Amino acid sequence: MHKNFSEETLRNFTKQVFTEMGCSEEHAELATDVLIQADLRGVDSHGVARLSGYYRLCCKGRINTTPNIRIIHETPTTATVDGDSGLGLVVAPFAMKIAIEKAKIYGSGWVSVKNSNHFGIAGYHSLMAVEEDMIGISMTNASPLVAPTYSNERMLGTNPMCYAFPAGNYPPVVVDMATATAANGKLEIAQRAKKQVPEGWIQDKLGNSTTDPDALKNGGSLLPLGSDKDHGSHKGFGLSATVDIFSAVLSGANYGPWVPPFVAFLDPPSDPVGEGIGHFVGAMRVDGFRPIDEFKQHLDNWILTFKNATTVNPNKKVVIPGEPEYLFTQERKQSGIPLVQPVVDDLNQLATTLKINGL
Amino acid sequence: MHKNFSEETLRNFTKQVFTEMGCSEEHAELATDVLIQADLRGVDSHGVARLSGYYRLCCKGRINTTPNIRIIHETPTTATVDGDSGLGLVVAPFAMKIAIEKAKIYGSGWVSVKNSNHFGIAGYHSLMAVEEDMIGISMTNASPLVAPTYSNERMLGTNPMCYAFPAGNYPPVVVDMATATAANGKLEIAQRAKKQVPEGWIQDKLGNSTTDPDALKNGGSLLPLGSDKDHGSHKGFGLSATVDIFSAVLSGANYGPWVPPFVAFLDPPSDPVGEGIGHFVGAMRVDGFRPIDEFKQHLDNWILTFKNATTVNPNKKVVIPGEPEYLFTQERKQSGIPLVQPVVDDLNQLATTLKINGL
């Protein structure tokens, strides 16, 4: 059961919510754009469905809607940003803008961010660089749900990393992935549908393999990409560790088990090792390496070659990273963004609380 | 069956081989160091066992032992290097030196490389940056053995990526991983032992799952990290694509199915889209983000925290990326580097060919 809403309707509603939360006009518009792009790109778990979550964190005083986001350390091509507990939806684009400005002058720019909150889809930030004919990189740590190989303790978030490259005639190549085998959103879908999940996604509290989607709620943990040692879960753990170190050990944010939870009903650890959650973003000018037209022409050839690879089932073609999200956007800009009823209900309740018009 | 050799014995032998191949004193020493470090770190598949392979490529004229390695394009923090068909063992450190020099001045440095050959272990190059209290990044594409998700065509190499971070009291964190579920070396071990491999490592020519380690030789392919779509193989494919684009589409090397094979008995594709194989290396000054001592102290805390995580089996502790390689190095520096008999025989045959003393 779902209902379709036009992009414009959802934009207006979302912007009003952020404004009511105390954001400036500019911040409300930016935060809205990050969420709407997630919905347009088909990443429903990271779109307006998260709005109530941000609101609750705000009520708890864990999100500052009038942050003084600032550079606290820098070189010509690197910087550390203090997000002042702001919305990650606003802090991360601020950081990426700095990276892009540095790249314009020096060829590349890299910004590590502390004292931030959930930044939405990684792809949004990387694509800001692509707009400038740059390669965009973005990652963030997140509250601990994933156990390292051999462990049954939740030590890492689903810590996504994203690499985006500008193409010519094709949409950009956007590799935007959680470093766990399955992100939490996929589990929630199985929970709602009361369906078992494949082995290798989660383990129970004791570390036993399970297909029960509720195991995570009952003290279990998600598994790193690779699922088990034999299938390379130490690599998934290594990637997740990389994201954590770039995002938090480098910036001064909380890392590993100290990352504050996204949900407002759980308190952050009382013995923090840093401030807030951390991100890492970067931009590199393509023409710092070769002329942009040459690059795009070869990336188009790369895409075409992979699209035409022989497949086991002729009806299932090779999917270029970023292509499904592009197709979703084309379609949803036309026919609207579908929201499931529980999300609509939740947003309407939020509207009542804030005394604004519902959807 | 194996025999132990001292680091010094293998260094002298290896250097002599590279010298006989026509390398300068300096290049022979550097290439030797890359291979010996692989053996010390326990990555036996990438050490002196590869020497004959390099020699055969040299005989075929595919490796130029007196290359004019040079920058062909640059900005303050980016560069493209033409390896002039040199040994990747020499070309990649040349590129990393440039990245480090740029990072010293501007905070970060990034070099894409074309017209190169196999560069040994990625970890070697990243660790060059760590020596300078920088974060080191290195990746390379490789000849096609891996099929994208849904495909049964070999389109990508095992395309490793490596991230290395300097710690304080602990060895550096080094995430050095093939983006396939299992690297080719693991398959070769199973082939020699005539053992089946776990499902999810390879598929046969038609794309059927198989546990036969010889399936790869018979037209099958390796699977991207994640093994199948349900377990995130599209993420492994995305990572491998990222490595291919950074290393080759950005530099002007061959990408995807056009990457020349490492083995000399197979000819490179007759319709190249670039020159040689490609690498990508980078260095970032840690103190471009926060004081190095602060970073190291927190990375030590990160390492300690993860080492102490609860494990399912109390005898199997969480393994910090780079720790096993560090322990191998400590042990092998003491008791020598073990080589299996077929490798000793192969190296002694090479010695006979080159008219130098065998092992």
pLDDT tens-digit readout, A157-198: 999 999 999 999 999 999 999 999 998 878 888 888 889 999
Q: How confident is the model at residue B287 (pLDDT cuts 50, 70, 90)?
A: very high
Contact A236 B227 (CB under 8 A): no
Write the DSSP string, B206-217.
TS-EE--GGGTT
Rounded Cα–Cα distance for residues B220 and B205 (Å)? 4
- Express each pLDDT in B152-161 by its tens digit: 999 999 999 9
pLDDT at A185: 78
The answer, for B59 touching chain A at a CB cutoff of 8 Å, is: no
Contact B151 A285 (CB under 8 A): no
Q: How confident is the model at residue A69 (pLDDT cuts 50, 70, 90)?
A: very high
- Express each pLDDT in B89-107 by its tens digit: 999 999 999 999 999 999 9
ipTM over 0.85: yes
Length in residues, chain B: 359
Could you tell me the sign of the dihedral formed by the alpha carbons of B232, B237, B243, B245, in that order? negative
pLDDT at B11: 98
Q: ∠B242-B243-B248 over CA atoms, to 5°?
A: 105
Residue A225 DSSP symbol: T
Per the prediction, chain B carries an average pLDDT of 97
The answer, for A269 touching chain B at a CB cutoff of 8 Å, is: no
Contact A252 B294 (CB under 8 A): yes
pLDDT at B228: 96
- Going along chain B from its start, the domains and CATH numbers come out as 2-291+325-354 (3.30.1370.60)
Burial class of residue A65 (count of CB atoms within 10 Å of its CB; 0-12, 13-18, 19+): buried
CA A116 to chain centroid: 13
Contact A152 B234 (CB under 8 A): no
Q: Which of A306, A308, A319 to mutate to test the interface with B (most CBs of B within 10 A)?
A: A306
pLDDT at B223: 98
Using CA atoms, how far residue B269 sits from A146, B49, B214, in Å, is 43, 26, 24
The answer, for B54 touching chain A at a CB cutoff of 8 Å, is: no
- Express each pLDDT in B291-342 by its tens digit: 999 999 999 999 999 999 999 999 999 999 999 999 999 999 999 999 999 9
- Express each pLDDT in A270-301 by its tens digit: 999 999 999 999 999 999 999 999 999 999 99
